C-alpha cells in the first residue's frame, strides 16, 4: 500500500502529539480530542495489517501510542469518567448497562493491546523484513474494528450524558486527576511551601 506523504505525515503527527495541555481544563473535550487520535490509531493499524511492507516509523509510533497514550486514556476513563457517572447508572438501568459494557470492553481491549504490543515489538526487532504475520494482521484488524465501535459508544452516548450530568466540581476533579497522570501542574496553583 502506497502512502501519500501528507497522509503519512498527518498520521505520524497525530500519534506523536497529545492534545494541548490547556485542553485538560475541559476534560470532556480532552477525551474527545483523544478519541480523534484513537481513530487515527485505528487507521494506522489497518494500514499495517493490510501492508506487505508496513512503514517502520508508523509501526514504532503506533507502538509508542499504545504503550503510553492509549493506556493513560483508558485510566482516565476507568478511574475518572466512569466512576463519576455511576450516579446516573443508579437511576437509569440502560445507562448502567452501557457503563458495564464499557468496562467489559476495556478489560477485553487491555488483553488484546498487551498481545498486540508484544507482537509489534517482535515485528520491529525482527532481523527479517518488516512483514506482519497473519496472526498480527488479524489482531490489528479486530482491535481497530472493536475500538471504533467503542469510540462510537463513548462519543454518542457517554460523553453527551457526562456533559449534561457532571457538576463543575466533578469536572475540576476529573481535570486535575488527568493532569496528574500526565505530570502537569494545574495553572494558578500555589506550590510554594
Q: How far is CA 104 from CA 117, 143, 157, in A?
A: 20, 14, 16
Alpha-carbon span 44 to 60, nearest angstrom: 11
CATH code, domain with 131: 1.20.120.520
Q: Tell me whether residue 190 is in a domain.
A: no
Q: Tell me whether residue 52 is in a domain.
A: yes
Closest listed residue to residue 45, CA positions, set 139, 122, 119, 108: 139
49, three cell numbers: 495489517
Q: Tell me whether residue 14 is in a domain.
A: no
Say which residue the cell 505530570 belongs to.
183
Q: Tell me whether residue 141 is in a domain.
A: yes
Number of domains, the chain: 1
Q: Tell me whether residue 89 is in a domain.
A: yes
Q: What is the pLDDT along the chain (193 residues), one digit of tens a residue?
A: 555 567 999 999 999 999 999 999 999 999 999 999 999 999 999 999 998 888 999 999 999 999 999 999 999 999 999 999 998 878 888 999 999 999 999 999 999 999 999 999 988 887 566 666 888 999 999 999 999 999 999 999 999 999 999 999 999 999 999 999 999 988 765 544 3
Closest listed residue to residue 180, CA positions, set 17, 24, 16: 24
Question: What range defines the domain where residue 170 resides?
Answer: 24-181
pLDDT of 192 reads: 42
pLDDT of 83 reads: 95
- CA dihedral (122, 125, 130, 133) in degrees, to 10, reads -20
Q: Using alpha carbons only, what angle is made at residue 41 by residues 6 and 22, rounded to the nearest 5 degrees? A: 85
Q: Tell me whether residue 4 is in a domain.
A: no
Say which residue the cell 480523534 belongs to.
36
pLDDT of 127 reads: 56
108, three cell numbers: 477485553
pLDDT of 104 reads: 95
| pTM, 2 dp | 0.90
Residue 47, Cβ neighbours under 10 Å: how many? 21
pLDDT of 2 reads: 52
Amino acid at each position: 500500500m502506497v502512502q501519500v506523504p501528507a497522509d503519512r505525515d498527518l498520521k505520524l503527527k497525530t500519534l506523536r502529539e497529545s492534545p494541548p495541555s490547556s485542553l485538560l481544563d475541559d476534560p470532556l473535550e480532552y477525551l474527545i480530542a483523544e478519541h480523534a487520535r484513537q481513530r487515527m490509531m485505528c487507521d494506522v493499524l489497518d494500514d499495517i495489517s493490510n501492508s506487505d511492507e508496513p512503514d517502520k516509523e508508523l509501526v514504532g509510533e503506533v507502538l509508542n501510542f499504545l504503550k503510553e497514550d492509549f493506556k493513560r486514556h483508558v485510566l482516565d476513563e476507568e478511574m475518572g469518567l466512569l466512576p463519576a457517572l455511576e450516579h446516573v447508572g443508579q437511576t437509569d438501568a440502560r445507562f448502567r448497562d452501557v457503563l458495564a459494557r464499557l468496562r467489559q470492553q476495556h478489560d477485553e481491549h487491555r488483553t488484546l493491546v498487551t498481545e498486540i504490543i508484544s507482537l509489534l515489538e517482535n515485528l520491529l526487532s525482527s532481523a527479517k523484513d518488516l512483514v506482519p504475520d497473519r496472526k498480527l494482521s488479524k489482531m490489528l484488524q479486530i482491535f481497530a474494528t472493536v475500538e471504533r465501535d467503542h469510540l462510537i459508544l463513548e462519543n454518542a452516548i457517554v460523553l453527551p450524558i457526562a456533559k449534561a450530568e457532571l457538576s463543575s466540581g466533578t469536572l475540576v476533579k476529573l481535570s486535575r486527576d488527568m493532569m496528574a497522570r500526565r505530570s502537569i501542574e494545574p495553572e494558578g496553583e500555589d506550590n510554594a511551601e
